[in-house]
Amino acid sequence: MAAAGAGVGGAALAASVQDFVSGQQDGRAAEVAAGVKDGSWTVLQLVEALGSCLENTDPRTRGRGIQLLSQVLLQCYSLLQEKEVLHLVLFYENRLQDHHLVIPSVLQGLRALSMCEVLSPGLAVSVLKAIFQEVHVQSLLQLDRHTVYSIITNFMGTREEELKGLGADFTFGFIQVMDGEKDPRNLLVAFQIVHDLITKNYALGPFVEELFEVTSCYFPIDFTPPPNDPHGIQREDLILSLRAVLASTPQFAEFLLPLLIEKMDSDLQSAKLDSLQTLTACCAIYGQKELQEFLPSLWSSLRREVFQTASEKVEAECLAALHALSACLSRSVLSSDTEDLLDSFLSSILQDCRHHLCEPDMKLVWPSAKLLQAAAGASLRAYHHVTRSVLPLLLEQYTKHPQSSQRRTILELLLGFLELQQKWGHVEEDESTLLSLRAPVCSVVFSALTDPSVQLQLVGIRALTVLGSLQGFLSPSDLELVVDHLVRLALHEEDSQSSEAAMEAAGSLAPIYPKVFSGRMVPRLEEELQSEREEESSRDRCSLRQRCLQALAAVSIHTSIVRETVPVLLQHLRKVQKGSEAGNAQDVVSVCQSLHRVALQCQQDAEGCWYYHQAVVPCLLAMAVQAAMQESTRPLLGKALLEEEVLAAMVPVISAATTHLSPELAAQSVSHVVPLFLDGEVSFLPQNSFPCSFQPFEDGECLEAQRRLVVLLMAFVCSLPRNVAIPQQDRLLRELLALSCSCNCPFTATTAAKCFAGLVNKHPAGQQLDEILQLAVNRMEPGLAEGPRRTQALALLLWVTKALVLRYHPLSSRLTDKLLGLLGDAELGPAAADGFSLLMAESPDVLHKGCHADVRIMFRQRFFTDNVPKLVQGFHGAGPDVKANYLKGLSHVLNHLPKPVLVTELPTLLSLLLEALSCSDRVVQLSTLSCLQPLLLEAPQIMSLHVDTLVTKFLSLTSSPTMAVRIAALRCAHALTSLPVTVLLPYKARVIRALAKPLDDKKRLVRKEAVAARGEWFLLGSPGR
């Protein structure tokens, strides 16, 4: 039976071989390989079956036979035994002398054998010797040459020691193989082989120059990939691969450096850039010995390029190369009898560049400074050498040139060298030129700060910041002067640029010198904030206060300073509340903005964050409660704190002070704040002797002012981490729900709804949440149906829907359907349509990730998928008087959707978007235009199908009475030019005529967009566009 099975198998194998060789059926190779893998026959049986084919006198038949064997080996090489591999290698080596038609298949077989793990020692060397001796590689086709490179690569990966035993013969053999290669696919492999030859220490012998020549002939790479290239090889791939070879060994230096110098002088920018980048790479492995002979020529070429080039890229690469050269020379260890090449190299740079620094109005001053800074920045030794010569010169030139413009240039040069010192941090006492020049440097910088020229002041402030960052440079008396100058500039300098720059500098230096700033600057700012100068106008006084507040916030970077500045800010807030200027809401808002900035700066420091929270939140709550209680009895005092603008400014302060608290500290704080609002528990507030009880959730006209403070409760509880338990949460939610539905004040009702929604969003799932939500639905439904408070009920519906949509709660779909139903309501329809923007947009104060809300990924995409079909259906079934509501809702949803998602849905929605452009509602128009503009750029093929309608609608809206719509329409008209030119050309003349009118628009921003759009339409169809 076994013999019969073998006979059947042999017959099947013979048939497959015959079909492949004679019948040209290439698919039989896979069948034969499968038979070898499953044990139906062996490779030896396959060779026997191929016997007559391999001995056939026709080279084509022999080639097909070897091709079949090689294809099978490529799939089954891992199954071969050591003895089989030996015989196959000897067979294939012998066949390398066969007819040229056979060679490609022989090479494929050798590639398969080169991957065998059981290859006997010596066979790899034998195969490569045979290839080097018998095959003229460069006469082969690209794929066959690639096969040779693959064989070499495989052997280098697995038989490294054997190949190294060949010595330089292996290197010479590979040089012959690679010589003349032109195909980029093969060059990538060949360059990698050369790189491995060098980095893995194969013997190069006397063939270093030949190896360099065979690779450097491709430098610089000049290759443009063909269009639609399936191989994806880019010019940059070849450049980097060749650069890795050229910069892999110092042995190439004597041949490579002259080549680089020659190519630097080329007229081709790409050749210059490649040469400079290669030089930079070489400097990482070269030493003084390799560079010495070529330094004068290299410096000459680099200097010429920087002095003469108009290309920023070339200049940047020249400076990088000079930096690398200086770093390379700095690394070299000096022996007593060798010349210090760094010293002589820098001396020649100074000789050629130093004198240009004396000419601040001439064009070579900046190139010279850049060259000196590039060389000096390479090492501390180089920096000391250059600055010893340059810094005294610049200080002398500053004194010599009285003009502000010249002084600014000189100070900017000086600043460049000061910034280099920052790389090494601490100023060394013994070596530093900078320390010996401390007095004149400080004098120059301080004089710049008092100069009338704003531009010189700005450079002086930057220099001051750098000097302050150098540890140990400024003396205590210098630091006091620094603070004095910064205070003067921040508060009293007329130009706002200098004032802002001074505040920024103070913010940079305050963490480095917290004692100086808290001891000297903060008291000065406090004094200015409290002073009342009679000679000042109220406007000047207001501006000074504003700057003081900003400066206090700017320096509040370090915890020790925050402990000084926060009491000052809060004291000023109390003064505003109590004093005669109590009605000035803007002043309160300014203090809140400064407090908010301080809060953001404290967030990453746990100690500072908790201090800030304890100091600010109770104080703000106390002042607001005090103001609310005085509202009925003394309406003129403290009223500013109850204005919507002021309360809205307090929200981010409390929120930022709460979001980064640890759960333990947050729990401690919430145990005070919630009872304050629910039970009137005021004991934790500072100055808590209030004239009456605090009951924001009670009924009564006189408590209206207290109810407004629910916005501060919202800022606090909606910013707490999700894992912080809120005391009496169920009661709190019920009170907020009742307030949101019953309050006549829209501000308070909306605030209560937002607070309710913020808590619901974070509430753990379960029966308690379901009960609260059912209660909310029961309160909303009758309120929406009829009555005087339909608007409040809609606000509650919108915020609760948003809270549930964000967390994928099942009830969200029911509430969204209710909102969709309201689009057909004559009274609430427009507001419900605007509500879709609220659902999709990022909310600034609640329900965002920054305040720990439960926001699921891709909630917008899910909302779109669930509800846009309903919006479209509702639009088609709606009456003409409410169709605009559906368009507005759809426009808001699409406008907030990620553009890639929108592009995929565009074909089905585009007709509705075009209809929305005809809607008279300005909000709909603006939202739709904002949606269409990116689509014109991202989906031109689909949009071009509707080009006639788009052109008509956009041109019509360029005459809209609303400026924002005119601007958006002009941007869309501009974006139309990204559509295919053939589609647009029939409209060119019409659009150019129509866009002439907005060129005379009364608004500058409209005219600007009209110029840009009309210019693109004029160029439409021009050559090269």
Please give the Cα distance from 61 to 101 (Å, whole number): 10
**Contacts with 456 (C-beta within 8 Å, 6 or more apart), sequence order:** 404, 407, 408, 411, 448
Over the stretch 187-219, which tens digit does the pLDDT of each residue have?
999 999 999 999 999 999 899 999 999 999 999
Over the stretch 162-173, which tens digit does the pLDDT of each residue have?
999 989 999 999
Please give the Cα distance from 121 to 111 (Å, whole number): 17
**Contacts with 1002 (C-beta within 8 Å, 6 or more apart), sequence order:** none
> Which pLDDT score is estimated for 673?
92
Extract the residue ranges of the chain whose pLDDT is less than 70. 1-10, 23, 333-339, 425-432, 532-540, 579-583, 631-639, 688-689, 691, 701-702, 1024-1025
> Which pLDDT score is estimated for 427?
56
pTM score: 0.77
- Within 10 Å of residue 487's Cβ, how many Cβ atoms? 19
> Which pLDDT score is estimated for 430?
47
Which residue in this structure is represented by tokens 């501009």? 974
What's the gap between Cα 56 and its chain centre? 66
**Contacts with 500 (C-beta within 8 Å, 6 or more apart), sequence order:** none
Query: What is the DSSP secondary-structure string of 653-677?
Result: HHHHHHTT--HHHHHHHHHHHHHHH
Q: Which two tokens stand for residue 8?
A: 């059947």
Please give the Cα distance from 646 to 86 (Å, whole number): 90
- Which run of H or of E encompasses 449? helix 438-449
> Which pLDDT score is estimated for 333?
61
Of 70, 60, 75, 71, whose CA–CA distance to 21 is shortest? 60
Please give the Cα distance from 509 to 623 (Å, whole number): 33
> Which pLDDT score is estimated for 6?
46
Of 708, 795, 812, whose CA–CA distance to 760 is shortest? 812
Of 219, 174, 234, whose CA–CA distance to 198 is shortest? 174
> Which pLDDT score is estimated for 151?
94
Residues in the chain, overall count: 1025
> Which pLDDT score is estimated for 432?
62
Q: Among the residues of 22-116, which ranges form H helices?
A: 28-37, 43-49, 51-54, 59-76, 82-95, 103-114
- The pLDDT > 70 percentage for the chain reads 94
Single-letter code of the amino acid located at 214: V
